[in-house]
Each structure stands twice: as C-alpha cells, then as structure tokens.
C-alpha cells in the first residue's frame, strides 16, 4: 500500500499521506460514498482522503461525517477533529482526539507565482532570503527555490484556514508570516504565523517538502 508518509505527532494526533495508485473499487470496499462525485479523479481523491481517517485511528466513524455550511467536514460530537487535503495523485489527512487541526498538500509548480499577489504580503516575501540562507534547495535551482517558498506559504495558510473552520478569511489580511521559516530538530519546517481574526494569536504551522510536494499542517486547541 502506498503510504508515503506518516507522522505520529503525539498519542492523540496523527497524520498521513497516501499516493493514489488504486482504482476506486479498492476504496469503495472500505469507504462509504455519501455524495456523488462525477469526475473520476476527484472521486478517487475524495475516497482516498477518507480512507486515511480510520487508517490513523481504527475506530474513526466515517459514516458520521457531516459537512458544514463552510464545506468543512466534521463529526457532530467532535469525537475526532480532522482535516483532509488532496492534490494530484496524493491525499493527506490529519486526525486528533484533542486538538483542532488543518492540513494542506500542494504540488510545487511555477503557477503559484502568477497568483502570489492574492495571498502573499510584501512583508512576508522579505523572509525568502532567510529561507534561502538556510541552504534548503529545491531541484538545485534558485527559481524553483522561490516557487517552493511560495508554495509552502500558500499551503501553510490553507492549513490555517481549515483549522479555523469558519470561513470568511482574507489570506493577506487575517494571517501573516511574521518570522523566518526554520528547520526544527526533527527536520520539519516551522512556519511562524500571526492570526488576526476574532482576536490575535501566534502559532507555528509545521511543514515538509517531499517528492515535488509541500505538506503543511496545524494542530492546536
């Protein structure tokens, strides 16, 4: 089975990334399909994302998932907090018994540079040089390096948006990178954010680069 990454954050919170190589019949034997998804690949992504939930916690009640008005999936009694993301042939999920969570996975492509004005502030872009000085390289090319930085920034903000869960978030106004991205002791990236929505809060989003993808997640009460 193509489980390409799993991270047990603590006893109550886990995440995983799955590379989709199976037909939808593989997932339909294991996952109840509550909504009709007509596009074949989007259907596979939808199924693979939900398939990961009981893989992380075997008693996760897939049949009890509901969809909020903001399109956020949830469990009514919050027995588990969870978030799902998918991109290309990958699906990612994070589940926690105790903390609100958000996750996002993105392909690293130059397309992100055409829309950076929609989510990146000039103040945030100044931190790119700090990111570059740490010696991280993406394909050994400075242009790809900048693309990876932007993708990490976008993915981190998407994970914050999903963690927040109430919609109505301006990616430039309400959340902002306020210090350089750094590598933690376990080799993961720490991305320090300020959230200015219903109060002021600072926290770290965690992230990882692998196989041309950026994965970012947030877990906090």
Q: Which fold would CATH assign to domain 3-98?
A: Ribosomal Protein L22; Chain A (3.90.470)
- pLDDT one-digit tens code per residue, 67-123: 888 888 999 888 999 999 999 999 999 999 999 999 999 999 999 999 999 999 999
- pLDDT one-digit tens code per residue, 22-35: 998 999 899 887 66
User: For 109, phi and psi rounded to 5 degrees?
Assistant: -135, 155
- pTM of the predicted structure, to 2 decimals: 0.92
In this predicted structure, what is the pLDDT of residue 145?
Answer: 82
Mean confidence (pLDDT) of the chain: 89
- What is the rounded distance in angstroms from the CA atom of residue 192 to the CA atom of residue 220? 13
Checking if the pLDDT of 211 tops 90, the result is no
The 10 Å Cβ neighbour count of residue 97 is 14
* Paired strand residues for 182: 190
- What is the rounded distance in angstroms from the CA atom of residue 114 to the CA atom of residue 126? 18
- pLDDT one-digit tens code per residue, 131-159: 665 655 444 555 578 898 999 999 999 99
Cβ partners under 8 Å of residue 152, min gap 6: 181, 189, 191, 207, 209, 214, 216
In this predicted structure, what is the pLDDT of residue 138?
Answer: 45
Q: How many angstroms from the chain centroid is the CA of residue 60?
A: 20
Report the range out of 12-26, 36-50, 115-129 with the highest average pLDDT: 12-26
Asked if 157 and 171 touch (Cβ cutoff 8 Å), the reply is: yes
Domain positions in the chain: 3-98, 106-220
Per CATH, is 106-220 categorized as 1.20.1250?
no
Mean per-residue pLDDT, 51-60: 97
Q: How many angstroms from the chain centroid is the CA of residue 70?
A: 17
Q: CB under 8 Å, gap of 24 or more: what pairs does 48-51 form?
A: 48/18, 48/20, 48/22, 48/86, 48/91, 49/84, 49/85, 49/86, 49/91, 49/92, 49/93, 50/84, 50/93, 51/18, 51/27, 51/91
């Amino acid at each position: 089975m193509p489980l390409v990454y799993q991270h047990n954050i603590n006893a109550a919170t886990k995440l995983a990334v799955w590379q989709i190589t199976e037909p939808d019949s593989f997932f339909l034997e294991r996952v109840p399909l509550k909504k009709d998804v007509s596009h074949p690949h989007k259907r596979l992504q939808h199924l693979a994302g939900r398939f990961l939930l009981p893989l992380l916690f075997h008693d996760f009640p897939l049949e009890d998932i509901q969809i909020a008005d903001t399109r956020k999936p949830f469990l009514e009694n919050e027995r588990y907090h969870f978030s799902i993301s998918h991109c290309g042939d990958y699906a990612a999920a994070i589940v926690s018994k105790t903390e609100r969570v958000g996750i996002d996975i993105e392909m690293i492509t130059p397309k992100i540079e055409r829309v950076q004005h929609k989510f990146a502030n000039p103040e945030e872009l100044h931190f790119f040089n700090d990111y570059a000085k740490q010696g991280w390289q993406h394909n050994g090319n400075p242009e790809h390096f900048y693309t990876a930085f932007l993708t990490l920034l976008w993915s981190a903000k998407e994970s914050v948006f999903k963690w927040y869960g109430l919609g109505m978030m301006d990616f430039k106004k309400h959340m902002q990178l306020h210090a350089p991205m750094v590598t933690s002791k376990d080799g993961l990236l720490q991305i320090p954010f300020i959230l200015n929505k219903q109060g002021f809060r600072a926290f770290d989003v965690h992230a990882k680069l692998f196989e041309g993808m950026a994965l970012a997640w947030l877990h906090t009460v």
